[in-house]
Copies of this chain bind each other. A is one copy, B any other.
Amino acid sequence: MLGVCYYPEHWPEDIWAEDARRMAETGIGVVRIAEFGWARMELAPGVFDWSWLDRAIETLAAAGLKLVLGTPTAAPPRWLVDLHPDILPVDRNGLPRLFGSRRHYTPASPAFIEATRRIVTAMMERYGEHHAIIGWQVDNEFGCDDTIFSWGNLDRAHFQDWLKARYTTIDALNAAWGNDFWSMTVGDFAEVELPTRQVCDTNPSSQIDFMRCRSDLFVDYFRLQAEIIRAHAPGRFVTHNFMGFSHTFDHFEMGRQMDVASWDSYPLGRIESLPLTDAERNRFARTGHPDVSALQHDLYRAVGNGRFWIMEQQPGPVNWATWNAVPERGMVRLWTWEALAHGAEAVVYFRWRQYRKAQEQMHAGLLRPDHILSQGGAEASRVAKEIAYLGPLPATTPAPVALVFDYQAAWVTQFQPQGKDFDYRILKLRWYEAFRRLGIDVDVVEPGTSLSGYSLVLVPTLPIVSEAALQAFQETNALILFGPRTGSKDQNFAIPESLPPGPTLQGIMPLKVTEVESMRPGLSAAVSGTVSGTVTRWRDFLETDLEVLAHFDDGATALTAAGRFHYLAGWPETDLLGSVARYLLAKAGLSVVDLPEHVRMRRRGSLTFAFNYGPESYTLPVAAEQLLIGTPELKPHDVACWRA
């Protein structure tokens, strides 16, 4: 299903009906509205004006469109800030972040919680059972612009309460954090500072606890809204639209509170914000990197417990990246099909018509400001026809390979990179890419999720290994590959006394990491043996009696295994990753297909899709008559689909 985001509040009412008619004509089935409309809904505390929204909903519904409504809490109105200045988030220096954009609140503010209850309850009472509304989006893009954090007095008090709930006694906290170091002992929870503006490094234990605390605060804030919605809107789904590659709260934890996950896919913006190579950035500036959105699709399918939407799909050039390219012709269609191939239930474009004013005026829509269908609009319309031609898409089936993704891994490596380029976003992307280059579908899973059914499980790194994670590793028959730094911390961010990978993993894989090295960009280490290639950025030094599958030039162990448990003692460059991937896939009995840098495949049930991100054609191993979409010669920026 295709959808679009629409802002009736931006447009004169007399064009709403025509907009709705054209949406339906373009093949749009669902429209998201209202998520920034608080100021129009509640004019003063408890004074509501639903008239415009009533008319907007009716107009869209009358055109046969289904609706997803957003609660408007991402944009508190000016009068609320005036009444309760303490809802404003506070920056690291203790200065408030001001009204005039969005996300200007901290959920640690009781006044904001009260205002949230009021607006969400009123909205649900009005629209909860509306026939055309099929789902609800809570708030919008939690964490955008560093808004999980706030460093004010309310936030400190909330952190202190959270710590008290976690540790019960201040002695337990002092012990867990190792506060005997540097005389950091505190006598009472009320004495704990937020981890900011210390003279030098802040205790990493306090940093990860503050991150957990803020993550819990936003999960609770989601739950608060979700409960009000569910109480009034039986049968409608509840979701949130996440931002990809955003790691400041635990998306899995929040995902457990929702019916379907959704995320915002802007492939071109990621070209600059992820630390890709310059060659990649130039090559994929107008297409996006072939694995970046794909990895997020697979992540949010897991976050949504198997169900996900694209709630905002890039429809053309945007405004917020360092540079903002025009997508190659065909890419809006390609991105849409790729999301569907990875199991998306709907792809909702952001947005119907480019608004000529305010912050996002340079962000394209399906319509240009002059009301004419944009290039992206034309491509969306084509996809709609192709979807209609294909009929209902089959259900997604599990991939043969799982990649374990962990938010705490992102936090540990952020608070303690130890080498400044140890970037978890890139680490997981490179591992994923290596298998996708071999034609392999990869599921993303949370640590502790059952791994049964997989042939191979990838753990790029997992510094904190929970009991649940261990159990899942033990209960599968899959080969498992652990990357560097796995098991390097306990729950309190301390090094295990038995050294990494820690007592739980050492039970199944007897080895010790005795030293670690982060390597500046000029350094590398060659690996050879059953696999070969290059390690950069990070090395673990192992002490073990296990079999050495590959070793470094200096003789140290690079890859070892205890039965089906493998440990890779460094950050693998592309060459080594490819070699390791081939080795393990062969061991797991999985066959591979060598894909060039710019081509990817993905199966959805009985369908196989192929995508060409590059300027060169690629010959598919399929006859023309088998193809449901496309041609055997897969053209640049084109899509193909066939039944396997």
Contacts and interface: CB of A to CB of B under 8 A. Distances in A.
Nearest to A420: B322
Interface stretch (A130-138, A229-237, A354-362): A354-362
A370 B499 contact: yes
A523 B282 contact: yes
Contacts of A358: 177-179, 181-182, 184, 203-205
Nearest to A361: B495
How many copies of the shown chain assemble into the complex? 3
Contacts of A416: 319, 362
17 contacts: A37-B183, A38-B183, A75-B184, A77-B185, A78-B191, A95-B197, A104-B198, A145-B199, A177-B358, A281-B522, A317-B517, A324-B418, A325-B518, A326-B539, A326-B541, A356-B497, A361-B495
Interface residues of A, number: 111
Given A75-B183, A182-B101, A191-B82, A515 B364 contact: yes
Contacts of A512: 370
Contacts of A516: 317, 326, 362
B198 A101 contact: yes
A385 B182 CA distance: 33
A72 interface: yes
A187 to B, nearest CB: 6
Contacts of A185: 39-40, 77-78
Given A95-B94, A101-B202, A282-B520, A183 B72 contact: yes
B100 A198 contact: yes
Interface of A (DSSP majority class):
loop
A324 B518 contact: yes
Contact of A184 (B97, B101, B281): B101
Given A323-B518, A362-B416, 4 more contacts: A38-B183, A40-B183, A177-B358, A181-B355
Interface of A: 7, 9-10, 36-40, 72, 75-79, 82, 89, 91, 93-104, 144-145, 147, 177-187, 191, 193, 195-206, 271-272, 278, 281-282, 285, 316-317, 319-320, 322-326, 354-362, 364, 368-370, 374-375, 416, 418-420, 492-499, 512, 514-520, 522-523, 539, 541
Contacts of A517: 317, 324-326
Nearest to A488: B362
A493 B360 CA distance: 12
